[in-house]
Amino acid sequence: MRKMIGIVGEGPTDYMVIKEVIDHITGEANEYRRLQPEPDMAGRFGNGWKGVWKWCETNSGVLDKVLHEVTPQIDLLVIQMDADVSRKEREVHCLCGSVGCEAREVSHPLRCAKVTEGQCPVILPCSMHVQDAGGYEEHLRELIRQWLGICANNEDVLITIPCDSTDAWIVAAYQDCDDVEKIENPWESVIAR
Amino acid sequence: MTITEINVKNFKSLYDVSFQPGKVNVFIGANGSGKSTILEAIGILSAAMTDRVNNNVLQRKGIRLSTSSLYKSKFKTMKREGLTVDMGIQWVDEEKYDYTVHLTTPTDDDAWKYHSESVNQEGNLLWGRSNRSFALLNHNIGYFMVTETLNGHRCRKMGQYIEKYGIYQPDTPTLRGIVADTTQVSPIGLNGGRMADALKEILKSTDGDMKLGTLYVEDILDMIDWASGFDITAPKKANLNPGVPSTRQVIEFKDRFLKANATFTGYDASEGALYVLFMLCLAMHPESPSMFAIDSFDHALNPRLAKRLTEIFSQLMLESHRTVFMTTHNPLVLDGLDLCNDDIRLFAVSRNKDGYAVLNRIQVSKELLESGQPLSRLWINGRLGGVPELI
Ligand SMILES: [Zn+2]
């Protein structure tokens, strides 16, 4: 049966790819809503991984209402964030606590002055996770659940963490190798090859 | 009398669309989604049901003229092109009625031809025609309002209700009285012509208070912060540059920051003020249509004004038992809609994969609206649909 699917993702390309993938898997022309936070006054956080973060936090208290108390209802919410965010961005490791930082208690990682000043003490790769595709994925998946305030068994929400990014999926589709989604840093190992 | 459904088939992007309108109906959608086409389809329905469909009638109703072939839906995925443009309306007036018309688009002249036309009461045929059975009828003319069979019948009330339907799209030069309204319609033109005269007709002094229709002028001026009063007069040299062409009457505003005897006309007044007066006049003039449309309700309104005017306008529509269909791009207009009232309805228009327009009625729980998620935000964030997807 056709479903109404909400997608919170990093950008327009991710949205297009995810739509096509879902239609292909379900064999249906589903209906979609691209959900995005409004950018702040400076035009920030309207898209990209920061936008996904902001959307999740803004909607955490009202998620159930936003999905089910607007018609047409959303049957499934898909949240996408690229795995390379875990590999590359210090902010998402702020709360891992691998290093001490006095700003942690007072600043939101997205608005922390230490980050903009290049003073964030987080060391990459973060020692709290397994350093492979599965590790990045697990880290971000858990983080998104925290932002949204949902548990792992929530059936309304599907979190998808493409490795390394949705763009890499497309290339993978043309490659003839096994477990392509588990290849670390596909830019070098698949695409550049 | 309550309209329960309107359906359209094979008209432009409306391949097969039906919806259940309320009294105040707002359509949102990206450019090219088909929201203005819905206003046009209702116009064709009203023309077909109560008169005839040709360029002259369409123009009078504010419908963009296309070449004949563009009126019909054309999609790659269509197995074959439909022969007729089909429209229908259902309503309840103690009993259930429906009217359906099938039209063929013009070929040699500008007249749309009636392929068939019928009206049912409780599902039973009251009257009908088709171009096979009634060869003697003029195929260019609708017979619903003229056939003797229906004389004095209650179903004619719907014809009278939608007869004067037009799509209003006021523009500033016309509102200012410096450009003539080419779509002159009584009591007020589709582009805003004749506004000063129409306002004068509903401006009255009761017990020392000025009222415009049912509203105190004082309250209207609260919306237009800078004005302390307005009046309708014949143009005088003192308040109008003689180089400005003008209509017989002009709207004269008093600015609360200028000295008492300083007045100026609609020519100088801010767009927002003129626009507010236009909407209120349309909503309250006894001769304005009982059913009409407004394309881009947000035109020239600042955010605060957009919300407030939407609230007042909706209220006036409900009080006067009118029906309005309007489009908007302004999120703040939505915040003026009381969606908890079932007579006020919001629809999102979008195109599906095949390019067909799809309409969804949007309902939102009171709890969600009150938890810091007003309609404007839900719309901007994409939850309501009716936004371009790829920005
Ligand atoms: Zn970490």
- Which among A69, A73, A34, A32 has a CA at the least distance from the CA of A55? A34
Quote the number of domains for chain A.
Answer: 1
Whether A112 is covered by a domain: the verdict is no
**Chain A interface, mutation test: which of B342, B351, B389, most A Cβ atoms within 10 Å?**
B389
Interface touch B364/A70, C-beta < 8 Å: yes
pLDDT tens profile B205-246: 888 888 999 999 888 988 877 677 788 877 665 555 555 555
**Chain B interface, mutation test: which of A60, A70, A75, most B Cβ atoms within 10 Å?**
A70
Whether A59 is covered by a domain: the verdict is yes
Q: Is the pLDDT of residue B125 over 80?
A: yes
Give the Å distance between the CA of B107 and the centre of ligand 1.
Answer: 70
What is the mean pLDDT of the segment spanning A108-113?
A: 91
pLDDT tens profile B338-379: 999 999 999 999 988 888 999 999 999 999 998 888 999 999
Window B:335-364, CB contacts with A under 8 Å: 352-353, 358, 360-364
Distance of CA A150 to the CA centre of its chain: 15
Whether A16 is covered by a domain: the verdict is yes
| Residue bearing the bigger pLDDT, B326 or B131 | B326
In what helix (H) or strand (E) does residue B157 lie, and over which residues does it extend? Answer: helix B156-162
Whether A190 is covered by a domain: the verdict is no
pLDDT for residue A39 = 76
| Residue bearing the bigger pLDDT, B246 or B149 | B149
Whether A143 is covered by a domain: the verdict is yes
Q: Is the pLDDT of residue B92 over 60?
A: yes
% chain A with pLDDT above 70: 85
pLDDT for residue B135 = 62
Q: Is the pLDDT of residue B391 over 60?
A: no
Interface touch B383/A38, C-beta < 8 Å: no
Residue B378, min C-alpha distance to chain A (Å): 9
Three-state DSSP class for residue B63: coil
> Where does B206-324 have alpha helices with state H?
217-223, 271-284, 303-319
Whether A176 is covered by a domain: the verdict is no
| Residue bearing the bigger pLDDT, B146 or B259 | B146
Tokens of B296: 């881009």
Whether A109 is covered by a domain: the verdict is no
pLDDT tens profile B7-40: 999 999 999 999 999 999 999 999 889 999 999 9
Apex B7 CA angle, B56 and B10, nearest 5: 65
pLDDT tens profile A35-81: 988 777 777 777 899 999 999 999 998 999 999 999 999 999 999 99
Give the Å distance between the CA of A121 and the centre of ligand 1.
Answer: 12
Chain A residues lying within 8 Å of B368, measured CB to CB? 62, 65-66, 69-70
Whether A113 is covered by a domain: the verdict is no
Give the Å distance between the CA of A93 and the centre of ligand 1.
Answer: 4
- Which among B52, B55, B46, B45 has a CA at the least distance from the CA of B143? B52
pLDDT for residue B372 = 83
Interface touch B363/A33, C-beta < 8 Å: no
Q: Which of A38, A61, A65 sits opposite B380 (nearest CB)?
A: A38
Over chain A, what is the mean pLDDT? 87
Q: Which domain holds residue A24?
A: 4-88+130-162
Window A:16-55, CB contacts with B under 8 Å: 16, 29, 31-38, 55
Three-state DSSP class for residue B146: coil
Give the Å distance between the CA of A59 and the centre of ligand 1.
Answer: 24
Interface touch B365/A70, C-beta < 8 Å: yes
